[in-house]
Amino acid sequence: TPGGAIENLAQKLIVAGNPLGLGAREFYGISLASALLGVYMAFVIFRRGTTSINVALSILILIFFYFLPKVWLQSRITRRQNNVRRGLPDALDMLSVCATAGLGFDQSIQRVSEYWDSPIGHEFGRVINEMEMGLSRRDALRNLSDRLEIREISSFVALIMQTEQLGMSISDTLHAQADQMRIERRFRAQEQAQKAPIKMLIPMAVLIFPALLAVILGPAIPTLMEVFNTT
């Protein structure tokens, strides 16, 4: 339904950090305008003739303009989530140091938000703002998890809540989780490095191999043409 689509889009914009200050209805309008622009351009090309090239080009234009806003939004989500993942272990280390120095959890979160000019710092600052407006720490942390939709953040929030319930040391817990996140980040980097050769096959097949074949076979083309002409 349109209402459900708007709600889903609103959540994605929140996860993306509300890029350009766009609301869900505004972005929905941009997506609709982009799709209509694709239809118009495809129609203009199609009117020039129903050749196979024009038909293929019209279809490509329709697909491009339909998915362009969605791909852009997803790229913003992925970029922001990756930035948070990269900064989270260091932020947890600083939280651990602040807690060891005697600061409370709220004061530690505020110190990190003031120190880090990054997505994770901004999100911690938002947690502090929500608590100052009367929201409980538990609800503010849940909102943090909902805004980012990152597994590491959800684990962090669950760990903080569990630590408070059991009366455990927050500093030791945060330091251990930061080390675990660094290990997971190292494993992800290794996985990406292993996948790199496979991802390079398509660009090589599309861009490099045709040029290489042209260089190799180019000098032989005149000879081949002479052979075919004499037969």
Instruction: Answer yes or no: CATH 1.10.10 is held by domain 84-178.
Output: no
Count of CB atoms situated within 10 Å of the CB of 99: 20
Its pTM stands at 0.73
End-to-end CA distance of the chain: 67
- Cα-based distances in Å from 125 to 82, 94, 108, 144, 198: 19, 15, 11, 10, 41
- Tens-digit pLDDT profile for the chain (231 aa)? 567 788 899 999 999 999 988 899 999 999 999 999 999 998 888 888 777 788 888 889 999 999 999 999 999 999 999 999 888 888 888 888 888 888 888 898 999 899 888 899 999 999 999 999 999 989 999 999 999 999 889 988 998 888 878 777 777 777 777 777 777 777 777 777 777 677 666 666 666 666 666 666 566 566 656 655 665
Spatial CB neighbours of 39, under 8 Å, sequence gap ≥ 6 = 62
Can you tell me the distance from the alpha carbon of 228 to that of 35, in angstroms, rounded to the nearest whole number?
A: 49
Where do the structural domains in the chain lie, given as residue ranges?
2-81, 84-178, 189-230
